[in-house]
Structures are given as C-alpha cells and as structure tokens.
Structure 1
Amino acid sequence: MITVNKSKTLPKRSDVPAEYKWRLEDMYPTDNDWEADVQKVKQLTEKIAAMKGSLATSGKQLLAVLTLQDELLKTLDQVYVYARMRRDEDNANSQYQGLTDRATSLSTQVYGSISYIQPEILAISTEDLQTWIKEVEGLEHYRILLDEITRFKPHTLSAEEEALLANMSELASSPSKIFGMLNNADMKFPMITDESGEEVELTKGRYTQFMESKDRRVRKKAFEALYSTYGKFRNTIAASLTSAIKGDVFYARTRKYPSALYAALFADNVELPVYDNLIATIHEHLPLMHRYIALRKKLLGLDELHMYDLYVPIVPETDMKIPYDQAVSTIKEALHPLGEEYGRILDEGFSNGWIDVHENEGKTSGAYSWGAYTSHPFVLMNYQDNVNNMFTLAHEMGHALHSYYSNHAQPYTYADYKIFVAEVASTLNEALLMNHLLETTTDKKQRMYLINHYLEQFRGTVFRQTMFAEFEKIVHAKEEQGEPLTAESLSTIYRELNVAYHGPDMVVDSEVDLEWARIPHFYRGFYVYKYATGFSAATSLSKQILEEGQPAVDRYLQFLKGGSSDYPLNLLKGAGVDMTSPTPIAEALSVFKELLEELEQLVEQ
C-alpha cells in the first residue's frame, strides 16, 4: 500500500520541522539584509550605466567595466535566487511574491544597464583587443569571455537594440510566470479514494505515488483526475505555451539565427547534428522500447496496457518503501567510489541546511538544485517514500556538488557551467546508486524491481525526453512556418509521438494527449534533449569510474571543476566521452538492452 499524508490536506509551511527545511538564512540572515543588497545592486547599476560609451577608450577602462559587471551580477544573482526560493517555499505567500517581482524587475533594469557592453566590445578591433589583453594586467582573466563574445558577433545587435531586447526580458518571461502561478498556486486537484478507501487530496507530488499504486482503480482515478483538471485550462495553457514558442522564434529571428533550435544550440557551441543524431538514434532503437512495453504488459497480466500502467512496478509483490533518512544513508554508500573529498562535501549538504525535503501547501512542485556563487547550493524536494524519490535526491545532489566544485574552482566569471553538461553530474549519481543497489541486492524480486526501475530511468530520461525534444522541434518549426498552434494541434502532435514511441502494445489514452500542458520544461526551449545526452554521457563516465578507479575519478572531478572555462563538448572529452558522435547514445541503449534481456531471463526462472 502506498503511503500518503493521512491529514488529507498538505501541511502549512510553518508546520514543517526545521530539520527538513533548507536554511536560506545562510544567504541572508534577514530580509533586511536582502534589502541592503538590493540597494547595492541599484548603486552598482547606476555606476556601470554611467560608463556607457567608454569601453573602446582603453584596456584599463574595459577591465574596470568587466570587473564591475562581475560584482554587480554576483550580487544580483544572490538577490534574485533568494527571493525566488523564498517564494517557492509557499507560492501563496504575498510577501515573497512581492520580493520576487521586485527581484525580477531589478534584473530587467540591470541587464538593460549592461546591454551596451557586448556591442561596445564587438566594436573594438581584434588587434586592439589582443594588444590590451597582453598589456593590461588583469585583462587576461577575461580572455575566454572576450573570445566568447566575439563568437556571438554575427548575432549581436546595436547597443540601442540590445537595450530594447534587455528591457523586454520581463515581458518575455511572462508565459512561464503565468504557467507557474497557474500550475503551482491556483490549480487545485480533486479528492480521490485511496487504496484503503479514504478520501485524499490529489497533488502533483502524490500523483507519482498514485501512479505506482498496486490498485489499478487508484491509478486510473488519479490519472483521470489530474488530466481532467488540466483539461479545464487547456486553452489558457496552450496560449501561454504558444506565446513562449513565439518568443523563442522572435529572439532567434531578431538575432539572425537560422532557427530557434539553432539559436538554442549555439549558446553551448553545439552543432545541429548532435540534436538530430539523438532523435535519429532513438528512432532506430524504438523496437527496444516497444519490446519493453510488451514485457510490462505481460508481467502485469493485462489485456490492455494503458498510460496509467506505465509507472506501477512490474514486480508487485516487492514493496520498497524508502524513508528519507534511509535514502540519505544509501546514497552516501553508493557514491563512495567518487572518493573521500566528494563524500565529505556530500555529507555537508545532507547535514547543513542545503535541502528542503517535504511537500507543503503552496510549495513549488518537483525538485531542483539552485543557489548563488556566494552561497552553498540548495536543493528543493517534495520527498515521497519510494525508490524514485531516492533517485531524485541523488540526482539533485549531483547538481549541487557540480555547482559546489565549480564555484570553488572557478572565479565568478567562469563558474556557471553550461546547461549541456548540467545533467551529467546528476545522472552519474543515479547510475552509481543503481550499480550499488544491484550489487547489494540478492533477493530476486527486489532485483527485478530495481532492473525495472533502471529500465524506467532509460524510458523516462532517454526515450521520453527525446520524445519531448522531438515535440519541441516540431512545434517550433510549425511556428516558424506560420502554422497555427492551438490546444487541439498541440494535442494531435503529442498523441502521434506517444503512439510512435510506445508501440502497438500500448493503449494511448486520450487524456495523455494533454500532457504537454503540464511540462514546465517546454517554457525553456530546447532544454530537455540534454537530459538524454547527459544520461548517455553519465552512463559512460560511471562505467569508467567503476572500472578504472582513481584515474577516472580524477578526470571526472576535473570536469566538475570546469564551469564554463571551456566549451561543454571539450570538457566532456577531457572527462573521457565524445558527444559529437551518436556512439554514447547507442552505448547507453545497449545497456538498456542488456537490462531488458536480464529481466526477461529472470521472469522465466
């Protein structure tokens, strides 16, 4: 039987024990301290705005502006992150809604004030720039940044146009903000009857638990209740998502990129074939996915496999309830191959107010790792006592330690690693956790359960995220071609992809046609493909760590320290994996095939 909060409704934020809350006081002891940094940002903004038009006068002036920009953005980051995370504790808290709005507006002002910097740098001749870097002490520090700015020269506008775009940033983020408030604060789900016959409020956090319920009635009711709720808002959400897509296309065209996809990849210096190879390689291996779906149907003993049957463990006799404290100790053991230093930092994170553990009323759903350069990382969880949440915790701590290593090894200028590599550290933690569990589990049913979970990780992270990536590619292309996007057309596209990816043994319920309406990542265009590429890279790196030991660990930790000091693909090559080739994707899918074959054999024993 699944375990849910029997109080029927979620606890208020004030009722959550302190030991299960993150300690945002580590960023600002009080809101007054936050206010002081707001004033500091305003002062620095005025100072840097007054330097407009001066960058080409000398190398010393260029250095002064770049140094001031670092100080300004470093302080702004902390102001913005604190306000947003305070709001995420309880989205209905008007005080922190206000702080977040102020931080957002302040961010818009800051980026408007510094929008002249890149165009002015681009106006400096290459000869002068290189001479200044050699002659002005301290300017060498910014060589990588200056080279990166030069790479963007074909897509950089005039200072006035850049200022205009910067001032539009708050408007451009409106679709995501509107969806977030609807999804996290305003949308309420109905009560459903759980396995024990009690009426329990459906929440997004509990939905995952209900989808793993052994009682098919509970799964079906939760599934229908969730999507019927989203269905009531389908046109509103379609309008918000379409607006976000239009924004992606507008910015790409304005900056003279061939497409929105090209623009998104350009930031990481990734070529289009990397994206296309991912989709093509997954399509080649879809028969493996279909084979897994058929096995799931067989093991569940169902005449028809529905979408609400995708998450229930296919070894129903195995009950693997994982309380939070047990998850923490298991993760520590599993990540032991990464060495003493990594283990010490990991323990610090678990013990010293990095993590906000449990779901409460108004809290932002899901999980993430975030923070500012001047603080330790933070992790938001909505922990439920199951295997999936243990893996989510390991995943987010992977992000957190990546940030910790990068922030400590790199100056602020180069500490923020690119999104392309962001999912590698998190997914590698999951791979090591699964390896540990499979090595220490002797019970046949539990082993089958874990293999099923690992197959689900592949399904969810490689196949599913690639399906998301293909959906994004299709809908952006339609917008670029002038074709209308509506709730109906988005649902049709999404349904066709589900049918293709899940194969003939899956009944694709009409409710799931609306799943696009609940995916927040779609408001961050062309992000999700990196989950699949990251998973593949992590699969390779975890194998190297387990087989080679310290040399592979050293390469990996150096990768974690890299930040943005080099392009993502180069950092990964240094760690030992080449993502310019489809080979890592195919290698990851070979692991999927091996696991699938082992599960099939265990079933026959």
Structure 2
Amino acid sequence: MKYRKSLFVLLVLSLIPSSLSAQASEPGADWSIHQLHQRRIPMSQLLKRSEVPTEHTWKLEDLFADQKAWDQEYEEVTSLTKKASEFQGKLNKPESLKACFELEDEVSLKIERLFVYARMHQDEDTANPTYQNLSQKAQKLSVRVGEALSFVTPEILSLPDDQLDAFIADEQLSAFKFTLEEMKREKAHVLSKTEEALLAQVGNLSQAPQTIFSMLNNADLKFPKIKDEHGNEVELTHGSYIQFLENPNREVRERAFKAVYETYSKQKNTIAAALNANVTKNMFYANVRKYPSVMEMSLYGDNIPTDVYTNLVDTIHESLPLLHRYMDLRKKLLGVDQLHMYDLFAPLVDEYKMDITYEEAKQTVKDGLKPLGKDYADALQAGYDDRWIDVYENENKRSGAYSWGAYGTHPYVLLNHKDNLNSMFTLAHEMGHALHSYYSDTSLPYRDAQYTIFLAEVASTTNEALLMDYLLNKSTDPKEKLYLLTYYADQFRTTVFRQTMFAEFEKIIHERAEEGEALTPQLLSEIYYDLNVKYHGNSMAVDKDIEMEWARIPHFYNSFYVYKYATGFSAATSFSKQILEEGQPAVDRYLGFLKSGGSDYSINILKKAGVDMSSPQPIREAMSVFKELIEQMEQLTK
C-alpha cells in the first residue's frame, strides 16, 4: 500500500530505516573507525557522543532547529488529525477527496519529519532516554493518525467501480491518479471501516518483536573480550567483529567467531521468541487481509509477482557450483586444508593492504562515479560538504549503515567508518541511496517521490559497481588487482548468494509456520545450518556455531526484504554495464530512473530504464560477471 505514505510505511517499515546497506546483515556491516584527528584510538576507548567532533556528525538541525520546533510540529499534527473526521462520509466528490488527500499528505510528511528526527537522534546514542521517549511519542502519534484516517481507503473502495474509475480519470485528481489506481488494485485486501480502525489500533503491538530484538541487539547484548594476535585482551563489539574476521591470524578469527555465536546462543530462546512473534504477526496480517501467504502479501505492495522471488532462488540454485568453485579458490589461496566459516573474510593477499582514510574514500568515490556526469558529482559533493553524513562509531551508536531522511530536507547517511576498502564501498553504497532520494524528492511531489524498497538497492549497488570498475581499471599491481577481484567476488557472495540464502530461510520458516509448525530455536538452527551446507558446498567446513547466525540478522524483522538485495545487485550490474558501454544515452536513462521515485510500479520503472526484472536474465548476467571474476583470479594465481 504505497499510497499510505507514512501511515503504512512508517508503521510497518520505518523502525528499520528505509534504505539499509546491502551489507547491513553481514558482519562487515558493523563498520567502525577509531581514527580521529589522525590518531588511533583503541577499540576499548570509544568516544561518547558528546565528544565526537561536529564535522563528523550529521546536521539534524536541518530537520528541526531545536526541541522546541519539534514540539511545535508535534502539536500541529495533533491539531490536524482532528480535521480528518470532517471528511468521513463525504469522499464521494472529487473536491472533498482532493482535500482529504492533501490533508493526509500534510500530516504524513510532518509525522515523517518528527519520527526521522527523533529516531536518528536515538541512533546516535541508543541508550539516550530523551530520544527513546521522542521516538515512542512520534510512533504513538502516527498510530493515532492512522486510526483517524483509517476510514479513507475503505470509504473510497466502497464506491461503485464506475465512480472510482471516474475519479481516476478526473483532471482535478490527476496528482492522485496512481494512488487511486493502487487503491483499486488493493481492493480485495482492504477491510471494512470498523476492521481497518481496529487494525490501526494494533499498530504499536505489531512493532513489538522488532523493537525487542533491536534493543536486545543494540543496547543490551554484550560480547566478551578476546585475545588478539599479541595476546592482549581486546573488546569485541558489533563494530569490531569484521575487523577480527579480517585478521590474518586464524586463531583470532576463530576466537571472535565463536565468541559472537556463543553470546547469541545464550539468548537463543528470547530471540527465537521474538522472531516467532514476528512471523505470527505476519501471518495474522496475511490472514485478515485475505492473502494466500505472507510472501504474497509482502510482495503485493510493490506489485511484484511471487515468480520473481522463486525465480531468484531457483536461478541461484543453478549457480551454486560457481560459489563452490569460489570456495575452492579461497581455500587454495589461504593454503588451508579445510575452509571454515570464520575464513570467509580473511585477506587472500597477505602482502597487500589498502588503508583508505575517510577523506581519501570521499575523493575516490567521487572519481569512480564520474561516468554519471557533473550534476550527479555536484549533488554528491553537497552531501559531503553539508553534513549529510554521521561518520564514526561512538559509544552506544547504532551499528551498521543506512540512508534515511524526510521529504523536503536533504537525505542523511549513518556510517560506522573504518579506514578500509569495505567502508569506502559503504560510503558509495549509502550515497547511492541518498542521491536516489535526492533526485526523486527534487523531481516529484511528495506522494510520488517515495520509491519502493524493491528499487532501493539498485542505485546504491550501481555506485559500487562503477567504483569497482574504476579501481580495477586504475590498478597496475597484480596483488592489488587480486585484492580488488577478491573483494568484488565477495560482494557477489554476500549480496547475491548470501542474501538469497537469507531469503530462502525466510521462505522456509514462514511456510513451516503456516503449516502449523512451532519455530523453536532448534528448528530455526537446523534450517539455517542445512542451508549453509547447501550453499557453501563440500569444500567448506560449515562450523556448527553458524547455526545461530539467524539470531543476529535484523532484516528478518522486516520480512521478505532481503531478496531485493540480490535482485537489486543484478539490476545494478546491468545498469553499470550499460553506462560504461553506451555513455550518455545510458546515463540519461539511469538518471530518469533515479528521478522516477515511486511514480509507477517498480518493474515498469526498471523496464523503462532498460532492465527487465520480470525475467531471470539480469540474475544470469550477474552470474556471468561472477564467473569472469573467478576466472581472472584463477589466472592471477596460477
């Protein structure tokens, strides 16, 4: 229900910001850096939020100048909400319908601003009670608004079809044509006024599983200290985990790996209960809204056929021999008898190391994206200069990376930056999200600007593909080239294969639950372990500890989301190839895609820009690129 801007999107999606990093469920998503003013700060000495230099923080004052301004807008929304009842029973004329939609947009945008501001402040320091309170206030207000406006859709859809068709054709309602078309498509799944009002009231309850997991994972869960390669006791955090997995010392990698999953294992019953509650919630909504399954409900909002999902899984199954071949190559390059799960991020080129400061990363990203033209470069520079970005990890800061924001104000990006290649690609990725929002917001009215999540990962991953092409073409050192090829191959492994494995896990657990099975910690672990064995092949020693990884993936609380990383990566591979081979005509089509927002169905928007995701062909094209990477690596390592 894309047309219910904040009322649907905010209630259902916004506790996970709408544009999360494609690596956000990877250990590598928990990037962090402790190099401020050119001095290295030990991992055990994270800065408090108040100690972080202003130039490394995002400028949330562009949303609200201060708390007083936030409070004033909160009161305005409260007052505006009372006006909603004036339209009840009167949505049978174009004039009243237009006025009602305009009120809905005004209220939705204000709620979006209130929530985004409060939640991003909370993400700066998840233990800060002030912004926990503001987030809860904004969320509760959005529920009240949802209740007040819950009559709109069922009242419109209670009209005769010929009258609804007349509204769609009415010039007065031209700004809302796509909204009305969407409503008509959703008609079979919209309930009566009374039932819709009741569902709106349970909005807060529906967020409980995700909220509980988020607080447990980000605020309460504490990892033990482990010994580094020098025998020193060092702190293990979300932010430092990837650093340990990238350590050349295998014992350090193993200690970090086991410590993380032992920690999650101690909470397995609580986390399984939260995940089970989330699946139960999904089944409740699918049932009351008359969808055959949770998966169909989840894809229906974007008008995505379930075949797109199952085709992805089936096509990746066909390509698993390529992943197994890459595992063989990784084992050979590491020189180990058995490849373990904690070896998947180990450096394959011991003699080559890329230390990239944040300033260097910004310039390199800008250079890599030059094929997109001057206008894009200028917008990127504005993001750097105008403090769109919150750069470094600090005490209690939310882990991972995302882009978010509110219409009418520039986008924002949260990072936990480290001086490595991974973090540079995260910067490119998140700025891809940000500039997608920037172009959509500046090209379209509020209602049409918000693109679907199905499209969200395309722009971000296109940036990564262009950056990688730039780096590979610039490289003259065989060791550097092998390093880059390895990194790119790992992007395929994590963003296509791994996210598809996540998607298959979600599909299986929902099907099991829909068949009446209880999602116990044991069953979840068994399903997850078996999938790891299937995906990684015989060359991999699939450590038993990995069976608990399902417990640390936040995306499972935004169900049937992660498949879009794999489809988005495939679409991005196609876009980047067109841009590099065709030049300006492809750039124009791509910028047209960025400016299209959510003004049409996602499949149609991509197709107009030159990528047909209704076919498995883009996924197969991505797999052909992966095969070429493996072949190049094999040649370099003969």
Matches within 5 A, 1:221-236: 221-236=255-270
- Cα drift, residue 209 of structure 1: 1.1
- Cα drift, residue 527 of structure 1: 0.2
The reply to whether residue 89 of structure 1 matches residue 154 of structure 2 is no
Equivalent-residue separation in structure 1 for 2:541 and 2:33 (angstroms): 28
Task: Give the SS at the match of 2:596.
Answer: coil
Tell me which of 79, 98, 109 is aligned to 1:43.
Answer: 79
Tell me which of 115, 130, 134 is aligned to 1:99.
Answer: 134
Task: Give the SS at the match of 2:84.
Answer: helix
Q: Report the equivalent of 2:422.
A: 388
Tell me which of 613, 622, 626 is aligned to 1:592.
Answer: 626
What code does the residue aligned with 2:493 have? R
- Assess if the C-alpha contact under 8 Å between 1:209 and 1:384 holds in 2: no
Q: Report the equivalent of 1:23.
A: 59
- Assess if the C-alpha contact under 8 Å between 1:78 and 1:374 holds in 2: no
- Assess if the C-alpha contact under 8 Å between 2:43 and 2:240 holds in 1: no
What code does the residue aligned with 2:102 have? T
Q: Report the equivalent of 1:325.
A: 359
- Cα drift, residue 111 of structure 1: 1.1
Task: Give the SS at the match of 1:157.
Answer: coil
Equivalent-residue separation in structure 1 for 2:607 and 2:613 (angstroms): 8
- Cα drift, residue 473 of structure 1: 0.2
Q: Report the equivalent of 2:376.
A: 342
Matches within 5 A, 1:54-69: 54-56=90-92, 58-69=93-104
Matches within 5 A, 1:371-386: 371-386=405-420
Unaligned runs of 5+ in 2: 1-31, 35-40
Q: Report the equivalent of 1:312.
A: 346
- Cα drift, residue 51 of structure 1: 2.1
Equivalent-residue separation in structure 1 for 2:239 and 2:43 (angstroms): 15
Equivalent-residue separation in structure 1 for 2:457 and 2:566 (angstroms): 9
Equivalent-residue separation in structure 2 for 1:569 and 1:527 (angstroms): 16
Matches within 5 A, 1:387-536: 387-536=421-570
- Cα drift, residue 134 of structure 1: 5.0
Q: Percent identity?
A: 56
What code does the residue aligned with 2:595 have? K
Equivalent-residue separation in structure 2 for 1:351 and 1:215 (angstroms): 39
Equivalent-residue separation in structure 1 for 2:346 and 2:425 (angstroms): 16
The reply to whether residue 164 of structure 1 matches residue 168 of structure 2 is no
What code does the residue aligned with 1:544 have? Q
- Cα drift, residue 9 of structure 1: 3.0
Equivalent-residue separation in structure 1 for 2:391 and 2:452 (angstroms): 27
Task: Give the SS at the match of 2:442.
Answer: helix
Deviation digits for residues 512-570 of structure 1, max 9, x if unmatched?
A: 10000000000001000000000000000000000000100000001001111100000
What code does the residue aligned with 1:577 have? V
* Deviating more after overlay: 355-364 vs 118-127: 118-127
Deviation digits for residues 82-129 of structure 1, max 9, x if unmatched?
A: 111010000100101110111111111111111111001101223223
- Assess if the C-alpha contact under 8 Å between 1:562 and 1:571 holds in 2: yes
The reply to whether residue 359 of structure 1 matches residue 402 of structure 2 is no
- Assess if the C-alpha contact under 8 Å between 2:253 and 2:343 holds in 1: yes
Task: Give the SS at the match of 2:580.
Answer: helix
- Cα drift, residue 197 of structure 1: 3.6
Task: Give the SS at the match of 1:320.
Answer: coil
What code does the residue aligned with 2:455 have? V
Residues 510 and 9 of structure 1, relative CA distance in 2, 3 Å threshold: farther
The reply to whether residue 116 of structure 1 matches residue 151 of structure 2 is yes
Residues 377 and 492 of structure 1, relative CA distance in 2, 3 Å threshold: same
- Assess if the C-alpha contact under 8 Å between 1:59 and 1:133 holds in 2: no
Equivalent-residue separation in structure 2 for 1:425 and 1:297 (angstroms): 33
Q: Report the equivalent of 1:561.
A: 595
- Cα drift, residue 3 of structure 1: 8.1
Equivalent-residue separation in structure 1 for 2:228 and 2:67 (angstroms): 41
Equivalent-residue separation in structure 1 for 2:412 and 2:521 (angstroms): 36
Task: Give the SS at the match of 1:379.
Answer: strand
Tell me which of 570, 585, 589 is aligned to 1:551.
Answer: 585
- Cα drift, residue 196 of structure 1: 3.8
The reply to whether residue 205 of structure 1 matches residue 239 of structure 2 is yes
Task: Give the SS at the match of 1:248.
Answer: helix
TM-score using structure 1 length: 0.98
What code does the residue aligned with 1:22 have? W
Deviation digits for residues 28-62 of structure 1, max 9, x if unmatched?
A: 01011111110011111111133222212x22111
Q: Report the equivalent of 2:166.
A: 131
What code does the residue aligned with 1:68 have? L
Deviation digits for residues 350-409 of structure 1, max 9, x if unmatched?
A: 111100010111111000000000210000001111111111111010000000000011
Q: CA RMSD in A?
A: 1.2
Equivalent-residue separation in structure 2 for 1:240 and 1:529 (angstroms): 21
Say which structure, 1 or 2, has more relative contact order (CA 8 Å, 6+ apart).
Answer: 2
* Deviating more after overlay: 186-195 vs 288-297: 186-195
Equivalent-residue separation in structure 1 for 2:572 and 2:169 (angstroms): 39
What code does the residue aligned with 1:592 have? F
Unaligned runs of 5+ in 1: none
